[in-house]
Amino acid sequence: MKLALGPLLYHWPRQSVLDFYADVADAPVDIVYLGETVCSRRNELRWPDWLEIGAVLAQAGKEVVVSTLALIESEADLRLLRKIAAQERFRVEANDMGAVRLLARRAEGPPFVAGSTLNVFGPRTLAHLHARRAGWLRPNCRAKRSAR
Amino acid sequence: MQASATNYEAIEYYRERFGIRRAVLPRVLSLAQVEHTIAHTQCEIEVFGYGSLCVMVEGRCALSAFATGESPNCQGVCSPAKAVRWEPLPDGMRTRLNGFLIDEFHGDERPGYPTLCKGRFAVDGATYYALEEPTSLNTLDLLPDLLRIGVAAIKIEGRQRSPAYVAQVTRVWRDAIDRCAATPQAWRPAPAAHAELDRLSEGQSQTLGAYSRPWR
């Protein structure tokens, strides 16, 4: 079984992010999810920065996946999404159905990952995505908790 | 089950694949973003216009499922009634959701329905509405804009409300929509309409929510 590192959810200063992924290159993980998934107003790192980090990690033998934003609001967000969907260097994790639309259109390139912020709660949804070239699913674990 | 679409690429996907005819946008987009979305989809767009303000992205929020195992995204509703406990105190009320203490009300405070997002929590030594102030959404002032940009329907939040509440709120809105559509240039919200909506709102302040973002 492989070990995967999810996308960084924190808003860290640029240098901390770069240092973190430099360490990850040496860490015993097989798959690394990269990119901003939480907020489009964070700009410590830009798309070319993520591509560069991805290249270094790939060089170190990691399988790199680029994760898309969970909440896409503006045309600027969509422009970045189209850029990510158009590149075929790295596999893409789709975190909203807009990303699924763009990635499902591609006939070539690696299959995409159905991300944890997609509402996949049953086998029929999973089968629908699988038929549209979703290679695998990163599920959202929403375990029932109780205070008692 | 609730899906989630916040942009026209997602809405068009659902339209192409499943033939949906109308999408309800989450309460997180600005008016300009709603207008842009409407301009780029063939689907009818419905927006939330009045009721409790959910700051989370509809269909994506994990809070209710985290506390109760149920939510509109996976199964059931947000903060299902069966998970709610109202515990009387000598001078007030304590509210719980599946055992979690959500809030405590004393004296004249009006107890609110316990959802995780509107609870008061102790953070760094202070107890306050850490996620969201319990305000109400009221977009009556935006009505001419909503009509102009082509919103197909305005959603009045009526979950866990009485039939009397729904009747009163929808009457005010129906009247406002009809008058505004007849003379959009001259229309101003009637003071009586605002007064009635103020009276019916959750008792706290009202807001235009994300539709208006003067701070941007």
SS (H, E, C) chain B: CCCCCCCHHHHHHHHHHHCCCEEECCCCCCHHHHHHHHHCCCCEEEEEEEEECCCCCCCCCCHHHHHHCCECCCECCCCCHHHEEEEEECCEEEEEECCEEEEEEECCCCCCCCCHHHCCEEECCEEECCCCCCCEEECHHHHHHHHHCCCCEEEECCCCCCHHHHHHHHHHHHHHHHHHHHCCCCCCCCHHHHHHHHHHCCCCCEECHHHCCCCC
In a domain, B49, yes or no: yes
In a domain, B145, yes or no: yes
Same domain, B45 and B150: yes
In a domain, B124, yes or no: yes
Q: Tell me the mean pLDDT in the region B188-198.
A: 91
Lowest average pLDDT, out of B121-130, B159-168, B182-191, goes to: B159-168
Residues of chain B with C-beta less than 8 angstroms from the C-beta of A119 = 1-4, 59-60, 73-74
In a domain, B1, yes or no: no
User: Could you tell me which residue, B210 or B9, shows the higher pLDDT?
Assistant: B9
A37 in contact with B, Cβ within 8 Å: no
Same domain, B165 and B195: yes
pLDDT tens digits for A49-78?
Answer: 999 999 999 999 999 999 999 999 999 999
Same domain, B150 and B205: yes
In a domain, B37, yes or no: yes
Same domain, B142 and B115: no
Same domain, B24 and B88: no
Q: Check A119 against B3: CB less than 8 A apart.
A: yes
Same domain, B81 and B174: no
pLDDT at B130 > cutoff 60: yes
Q: Using CB atoms, which residue from B13, B29, B69 is nearest to A98? A: B13
Q: Check B74 against A144: CB less than 8 A apart.
A: no
Same domain, B114 and B171: no
For residues A138 and A136, give the distance between their C-alpha atoms in angstroms, rounded to a whole number: 7
In a domain, B106, yes or no: yes
B24 Cα to chain A: minimum distance (Å):
14
Same domain, B112 and B145: no
B211 in contact with A, Cβ within 8 Å: no
Q: Check B7 against A77: CB less than 8 A apart.
A: yes
Same domain, B114 and B158: no
Last-in-domain residue among B105, B128, B151: B128
Query: Looking at this predicted complex, what is its ipTM?
Result: 0.91
Same domain, B180 and B75: no
What band does A148 get if pLDDT is binned at 50, 70 and 90?
very low
Q: Check B33 against A73: CB less than 8 A apart.
A: yes
Share of chain A above pLDDT 90, in %: 76
Q: Using CB atoms, which residue from B28, B29, B73 is nearest to A119? A: B73
Last-in-domain residue among B101, B128, B155: B128
pTM (predicted TM-score): 0.90
Please give the C-alpha separations between residue B154 and each of A114, B38, B66, in angstroms, as whole numbers.
32, 14, 30
Tokens 């309409």, located at residue: B193
pLDDT at B204 > cutoff 80: no
What band does B2 get if pLDDT is binned at 50, 70 and 90?
confident
In a domain, B3, yes or no: no
pLDDT tens digits for B59-114?
Answer: 888 899 889 999 888 888 889 999 999 999 999 999 999 999 999 999 988 888 89
Q: Using CB atoms, which residue from B4, B10, B68 is nearest to A101? A: B10
Q: Check A72 against B7: CB less than 8 A apart.
A: yes
Q: What is the pLDDT of residue B203?
A: 60
What average pLDDT does the structure give for chain A? 91
In a domain, B2, yes or no: no
Same domain, B147 and B118: no
pLDDT at A145 > cutoff 60: no
Q: What is the pLDDT of residue B3?
A: 84
Range of the domain at B120: 63-128
What is the number of domains present in chain B? 2
Q: Check B75 against A119: CB less than 8 A apart.
A: no
A76 Cα to chain B: minimum distance (Å):
11
A100 in contact with B, Cβ within 8 Å: yes
pLDDT tens digits for B143-177?
Answer: 999 999 999 999 998 877 889 999 999 999 999 99
Same domain, B71 and B177: no
What band does A143 get if pLDDT is binned at 50, 70 and 90?
very low
pLDDT tens digits for A2-24?
Answer: 999 999 999 999 999 999 999 99
pLDDT at A108 > cutoff 70: yes
Lowest average pLDDT, out of B58-62, B64-68, B126-130, B178-182, goes to: B58-62
pLDDT at A41 > cutoff 70: yes
Q: Using CB atoms, which residue from B10, B30, B71 is nearest to A97? A: B10
A73 in contact with B, Cβ within 8 Å: yes
Q: What is the pLDDT of residue B202?
A: 59
